[in-house]
Amino acid sequence: MKLKLSLIAILMFTAILNATAQVTSSNEVAAKNWIKANESELRIQPFHTFKLSFVRKGETGETLRFQQMLNDVPVFQSEIVLHFSTENIVVFSSNSYDNSIQNIPTNPSISKQIALNKSKDILKIVGEYEVAENNLFVTKVNDQTRLVYRVITNPANGMGSWEVLVDAQSGTVLSTKDVAIYHHKKEPKKETSHKKTEKDNNALAPLAFVSGTAMVYMSDPLSFAHVAYGATGYVDGSDANTTQLAAARTAVTLPEIDLTAGVYKLKSSYAEIKDFEAPTTGLFTQSTSDFSFTRDNNAFEAANVFYQLDKSMRYINQTLGIVCLPLLNAGVLHFDPSGLSGADNSHYIPSADRLAFGEGCVDDAEDADVIWHELGHGLHDWLTNGNTSGLIGEGNGDYWAQSYSRSLNQWTPADAAYHYMFSWDGNNPCWAGRTTNYSATYPGGLVGGSGHTDGQIWATCLMRIWDQIGREKTDKAFLEGLALTNSSTNQQNAAIAVRQAGINRNFPCADIQAMTDNFTLTGYTMPALPLTMAPIANQTVQAGAGDVYALPSYATLANPISPSCAATVTQSPVIGTNLPVGVHTITMTATLGASSVIRTFTLTVTPNLAVEQNVKESVVIYPNPAKNQITIKGEFDANESITIYNLLGQKVIERNSISNEEKIDVSKLESGVYTIYFNASKASYKFVKE
């Protein structure tokens, strides 16, 4: 196989790392002014200060996180979060600010080394371990403000990730707890969060990647075959291979694997295999790029996890266009397909940005639900710069897993398994799994003490929205909504954040209403929607016969957001006005009762170019409207090509050459009106995507 250096991928990866590493913003002064203006409402103490700790830029603006400080020492899990629109206006805020933090001395009496020694003594860890964190914080312990060292130790046997709080004045050990995040059974008391600032200096080193192949479970063997656990050939059998389980595999391409000195390794721009937890099974490197194995070989689980993690990260960063990468390990997610000393569980370790999968009963690494769920914890962690909330964490993981598995269309809504979480690893004699068809509502249905159980309320609601507005839009709102949350965010406030993310992305008002209805049905109290209208991008069109352009309705482009989508839209000049060649100002006014919002944009009308008569007469586009595919038929020159634009004038599809009968997949386009432009003959046609 020919070795290729993906320079474009390297440059993109570097840009992404720089984006996530950004700690300055032109909105910082405005943000501090906002905090000052709201200090009375927030009840900010005069001895508390705030430091800009993280800036996340995206298509909808910037999210700034301000860490609460006491005498230049960070207050643990306490911050103010502000989101600025593309117009540099604060459109959303959340906070976990703790105004009860007392003004205590913040010069430690003991050293970090003494704190580390205290941690080692109390944990009595047997075997190898790593110290992932040892930082100074101010926090509340038993309602008392304390200066503490937070020491996190990760044992190599995979039995947890242990946080020890050591009083920085007296050296007393104040608390110990496991802060690893598990997908079932073992329940941590509280999700961890921390400021992540470490960066690997090797992040910009050239990556030598080639493509590879593998055999994997696209989701799990039961969903593939439409059978229940226990059917002939569909039991774990201590990792035994069966004809049925082998047949459930799918051949896939691995877009990137590492090739160094003739050795192929499961490593890409997004994920890399490691062996950091017991049992020690190795890295499964080999002299061939084909990682095709059956499940009785541990290499199968390694390839399966790698494929799923890499696929999910590519979907987020490339398909959705949302920057979301680990803040450690040079932006690469580390995973161990055989960890936790073989226990029947899996976990995400926030202090190291890595995942490990247990082997008890059904190997967790064989079920995509487990893999995507655990990754969901990582996404939550990275988007919030470590300020995750245990009140929504498990529901986030369940949603992210179900969003993927349901997109495969393996079950119908009539099947009970349509709602199963962990279809292969759970819902069997090993454990009951979970569901996204949970009947309880918020807040009365909360059982408390179990983020796994209560998370089903959150995941179920999100999947109902998913069924109505589709995967990509729900995923975008979910991820960007998470980026607006903080360590104290509950399900209701998460719902408000996710809806706001949909508004920030200018989703159609009908989608925002669907989100509002489903959140309300679940029991979340949603604030009333104010009348808003996003900025409208400038447009360029081509004049028709006589060099005039008949003005269409731009109501869909205006897309005012209002309660029940009841706002009316007027347009000036009015629809049907014949505009000459030139630049024109179009004014859109949205009105709801006594409220109104006005937006203007420029419409550039270009001269009509002669259109080849044979194209005008011969082109047929069908079906129109279309759901999944359109067919273009005509008599085209050999150099003809097409570009499809949305109403914002953005290119969404390009074909450098077309045949006389061309089929175009439009299933991933959002609903709306699109223009097909024939680049050689200068002809344009419209079609509607349902």
Position 649 pLDDT exceeds 80: no
Q: Is the per-residue pLDDT at 78 higher than 70?
A: yes
Does residue 105 lie within any of the structural domains? Answer: no
Residue 106 lies in a domain: no
Domain boundary among 606, 629, 658: 606
Q: What is the pLDDT of residue 4?
A: 34
Paired strand residues for 165: 150, 175
Find the length of the chain. 690
Q: Is residue 660 part of a domain?
A: yes
Same domain for 621 and 598: no
Is 529 within the bounds of a domain? no
pLDDT surpasses 50 at 199: no
In a domain, 184, yes or no: no
Bridge partners of residue 673, in order along the sequence: 688
Residue of 475, 426, 483 whose CA lies nearest to 452? 426
The vertex-353 CA angle with 351 and 358, nearest 5°, equals: 100
- The reply to whether 345 and 464 lie within a common domain is yes
Place of tokens 């897309």: 559
User: For residues 243, 244, 248 and 250, what is the CA-based torsion angle, rounded to 10 degrees?
Assistant: 20
Nearest to 394 by CA among 441, 433, 341, 439: 433
pLDDT at 187: 42
Work out the percent of the chain whose per-residue pLDDT is above 70.
92
* Angle, alpha carbons 578-583-586 (nearest 5°): 65
Q: Are residues 270 and 391 in the same domain?
A: yes
CATH number of the domain bearing residue 125: 3.10.450
Mean of pLDDT over the chain? 91
pLDDT band, residue 1 (cuts 50/70/90) = very low
State whether 224 and 349 are in the same domain. yes
Q: Per-residue pLDDT tens for 6-60?
A: 333 443 444 444 444 458 999 999 999 999 999 999 999 999 999 999 999 999 9
State the total domains in the chain. Answer: 5
- Per-residue pLDDT at 218 exceeds 70: yes
Asked whether residue 118 falls in the same domain as residue 247, the answer is no
The H or E element spanning position 207 is none
Which position has the higher pLDDT, 616 or 387? 387
Q: How far is it, in rounded angstroms, from Cα 147 to Cα 72?
A: 12
Instruction: Encode pLDDT of 536-567 as tens digits.
Output: 999 999 898 888 999 999 999 999 999 999 99
Residue 238's alpha-carbon distances to 215, 234, 473, in angstroms, are: 20, 12, 40
For residue 181, the cross-strand partners are 348
Same domain, 231 and 293: yes
Same domain, 513 and 546: no
**Side-chain half-sphere CA neighbours of 568 within 13 A:** 5
CB 647 within 8 A of CB 557: yes
Q: What is the CB neighbour count within 10 angstroms for residue 114?
A: 15
Tell me if 365 is assigned to some domain.
yes
**CATH code of residue 436:** 3.10.170.10
pLDDT level of residue 634 (50, 70, 90 thresholds): confident
Q: Give the residue from 585, 606, 627 where a domain finishes.
A: 606
- Whether the CB-CB separation of 221 and 245 falls below 8 Å is answered with yes
**Which amino acid is residue 545, in one-letter code?**
A
pLDDT at 10: 40
What pTM did the predictor assign?
A: 0.84
Q: Which of 467, 553, 449, 555 is CA-nearest to residue 518?
A: 467
What three-state secondary structure class fits 602?
strand
Indicate if the pLDDT at residue 195 is higher than 50: no
Of 196-210, 226-240, 595-609, the range with the lowest mean pLDDT is: 196-210
Residue 14 pLDDT: 44
pLDDT tens digits for range 280-326: 999 999 999 999 999 999 999 999 999 999 999 999 999 999 999 99
The token pair that represents 585 in the structure block: 């100002």
User: Residue holding tokens 């029991």?
Assistant: 523
Sheet containing strand 651-655, strands side by side: 651-655, 642-645, 672-678, 683-689
Does 587 lie in the same domain as 671?
A: no
Query: What is the Cα gyration radius of the chain?
Result: 27
Q: Which CATH number does the domain housing residue 591 bear?
A: 2.60.40
End-to-end CA distance of the chain: 43
Question: What mean pLDDT do residues 352-378 have?
Answer: 97
Beta bridge partners of 81: 65, 94
- Would you place residue 186 in the very low, low, confident or very high pLDDT band (cuts 50, 70, 90)? low
> Residue 114 in contact with residue 129, Cβ under 8 Å?
no
What pLDDT score was predicted for residue 22? 52
As given in the structure block, the two tokens for residue 259 are: 């090739």
Do 363 and 347 fall into the same domain?
yes
Report the distance separating Cα 461 and Cα 458, nearest Å: 5
Are 590 and 568 spatial neighbours (Cβ–Cβ below 8 Å)?
Answer: yes
The three state secondary structure string of 114-180 is: HHHHHHHHHHCCCCCEEEEEEEEEEEEECCEEEEEEEEEEEECCCCCCEEEEEECCCCCEEEEEECC
Residue 202 has pLDDT above 50, yes or no: no
CATH number of the structural domain spanning residue 673 = 2.60.40.3080
Average of per-residue pLDDT across 202-223: 81
Mean pLDDT of 154-178: 94
What is the predicted pLDDT for the residue at 185?
A: 59
Residues 287 and 320 in one domain: yes
388 shares a domain with 309? yes
| Cβ atoms of 450 and 434 closer than 8 Å | no
Residue 571 maps to a domain: yes
Query: What residues make up the domain containing 647?
Result: 613-689
Distance CA 462, CA 399 (A): 7
- Measure the CA–CA gap between 434 and 226, rounded to whole angstroms: 18
- Distance (Å, whole) CA 10 – CA 206: 7
Spatial contact of 54 and 383, defined as CB atoms under 8 Å apart: no
Going by C-alpha positions, the residue among 646, 624, 626, 617 that lies closest to residue 559 is 646
Q: Would residue 217 count as lying in a domain?
A: yes
- Using 50, 70 and 90 to split pLDDT, how confident is the model at 677? confident
User: What is the rounded CA–CA span in Å between residue 246 and residue 242?
Assistant: 6
For residue 6, the model assigns a pLDDT of 39
Report pLDDT for 60.
94
The angle at the Cα of 36, spanning 34 to 40, to the nearest 5 degrees, equals 110
* pLDDT above 90: residue 648: no
Confidence band for 432, pLDDT divided at 50, 70 and 90:
very high
Sign (positive/negative) of CA torsion 606, 609, 613, 618? Answer: negative
Exposed (0-12), middle (13-18) or buried (19+): which is 583, by Cβ within 10 Å?
A: exposed
CA distance 564 to 582: 38
Same domain, 136 and 51: no
Q: Which of 478, 493, 522 is the last residue of a domain?
A: 522
Rounded CA-CA distance 304/235 in Å is: 18
